Amino acid sequence: MDPETTKKKERKHKWMKNKKIIPIANYGLLVLLIAIMSINQITINNINSKMGIEYDTEAMIKSAIGVKDGLKYPVSGNKELTGDISKDAVNLVISKGVPSVYGSEMGVSFDEVQGAINVMRQYDPYDFKAGGKRIIPTGDNLQRYKEIGSKIACEYCCGVKTLINNDGKAACGCAHSMAMRGLAAYLLQNHGAEYTNDQILRELALWKGMYFPKQMIQKMTTQLQTGSFTPDTAAIIMDMKLPDYGTGNSSAPLPSEMQDAPDMVGGC
């Protein structure tokens, strides 16, 4: 056998040997990576345990995807109730952080109310200055839009009783109404199968709480006491088990910690 042929066979043998080794090496690296991650998680859990921090993994996963009692639905933040009517009214009305599902898509946050208004109003069917972003509901979405818009309003700003008229047209031209109508239209078009009408109404009501914190907290306090709710407050407490607050004066005082809260956030 000539030297050149011998060299070719040696190179081929070496290549075949390496070809077998590479998958074995990759598998070994994968096992090592899993081991490192496991050790890291155990270390973190031990540290958290020593610090008194406990995590319910199942609960965290359910919270992250919006699962409650086996059902999945979109939610904006977790509202914890204490049984203290003043604290609960504040916690129910005031929201923080980025709304789930649509918040990151639209780039809005409960922590930046005016900025969120500026974004959401662009989708209002009757904002003709929206630069092509406005969404005009049609067909079934139009009927849903009318139903949702007839149950909430920016009455503290403009005195209107609904966001829209019976024909679906805007009942008010203030920025708060435009933002709520815009959000409703956006959710119907992009997430209509994920949200029920009541769930969309809840999102609008959460923003209404941020637009008119003082009035909405006072309203929530009163209605938690009487047990009689308007559509906006009923939407906020939807799917919640409320403590027994008892009955009291229908003109319940505003929680003391919110006396200095603004009457209105965002231009009218």
CA distance 76 to 72: 13
The residue range of the domain holding 144 is 81-258
Please state, as a whole number, how many other Cβ atoms lie within 10 Å of the Cβ of residue 197.
Answer: 17
Q: Would 33 be classed as within a structural domain?
A: no
Cα(17)–Cα(21) distance, integer angstroms: 6
Neighbours of 231 (CB within 10 A): 16
pLDDT of residue 215: 93
Structural domain contains residue 28:
no
In this structure, is residue 75 part of a structural domain?
no
Q: Is residue 102 part of a domain?
A: yes
Q: What integer pLDDT is reported at residue 245 of this predicted model?
A: 80
* Domain count of the fold of the chain: 1
* Low-confidence residues of the chain: pLDDT under 50: 15, 27, 29-31, 33-73, 248-258
pLDDT of residue 44: 40
User: How far is it, in rounded angstroms, from Cα 125 to Cα 106?
Assistant: 16
Rounded to whole angstroms, how far apart are CA atoms 120 and 108? 8
Structural domain includes residue 38 = no
Whether 3 is in a domain gets the answer no
- Would 92 be classed as within a structural domain? yes
User: Which residue from 103, 190, 205, 200 is spatially nearest to 153, judged by alpha carbons?
Assistant: 205
pTM reported for the whole predicted model:
0.67
Residue 186 lies in a domain: yes
> Given this model, what pLDDT does residue 265 score?
61
- For residue 243, the model assigns a pLDDT of 86
